[in-house]
Structure 1
Amino acid sequence: MIIADLESCRRYYALHEEMEELFRYIRNHDFSCQAPGRITLLGNKLFINLDEVELKSKEEQYLEFHQRY
């Protein structure tokens, strides 16, 4: 999982040969108009799973944690 803004995404290009292509797609598309589902960029090699979720407030949601990792 990568948590970063799009301005600092260049540092992640070295992680995979398609990372630059992925971030270019993300920067240039408006996902607010996109229906949830799979967005295929390079077949099974590069794709996005776009989900629509209902977020909860801090008061409604417990912090997720794991005993072992």
Structure 2
Amino acid sequence: MILDSLKNGFLYYGINPRLQRAFEYLATTDLRALELGRHEIDGDAIFINVMELDLKRPEDAPIEVHNKYIDIQVLVDGTAEEMGWSERRNCSKPCGPFDEQKDVQFYADRPQNFVSVKPGQFAIFLPEDAHAPMVGQGHIKKVIVKVLK
């Protein structure tokens, strides 16, 4: 997991060749003006999901993991979003099988740590990272960039 400011996105281009395009899109797009739903940047290789939602209590936010995609999660509107993190290898309580179509599996395990993401910041979750997003109080708008690993 990486937590940083959007202005430093260029520092992470080397993790995956597609991250450069994803961060360039984030830097040149008015994220607040984006309509809710899916927006393709490069087909299924890079796309974003824009959502508005009410944040949850930590115990109501399951940990999730992905096999094919890296997540870049960006808070657009709201004061802060708490995101739980654990090492994927430490997750031992699956809530059903891995959903290949949605590239997600949920776990009943509790996160090892929580970080607070504020507007203008991002969190990167690699397939090795289990994460529990959307924790806190209030209503937010966020962007999740899905980058094929």
Asked if TM exceeds 0.5, the reply is: yes
Residues 17-55 of structure 1 show CA distances to partners (whole Å, capped at 9, x for unaligned) of 110110010011112111111110110011111111234
Q: Which of the two has higher C-alpha Rg?
A: 1
Highest RCO, 1 vs 2 (Cα 8 Å, sep ≥ 6): 2
* More helix, by proportion: 1
Larger strand proportion of the pair: 2
Query: Which is worse superposed, 45-54 or 20-29?
Result: 45-54
Distance 1:15 1:31 in 2: 23
2:14 counterpart residue number? 14
Percent of residue pairs identical: 26
Partner of 1:26: 26
**1:53 matched to which residue of 2?**
53
Q: Structure 1: how far apart are the matches of 2:36 and 2:111?
A: 32
Runs of 4 or more above 3 Å deviation? 61-65
RMSD over aligned CA atoms reads 2.7
SS at match of 1:26: helix
Q: Which amino acid aligns with 1:31?
A: L
CA distance in 2, matches of 1:41, 1:30: 14
Gaps of 5+ in 2: 62-83, 85-109, 113-129, 131-149
Q: What stretches of structure 1 of length at least 5 have no aligned partner?
A: none
- Partners of 1:47 and 1:15 lie apart in 2 by 17
TM (norm. structure 1) is 0.71
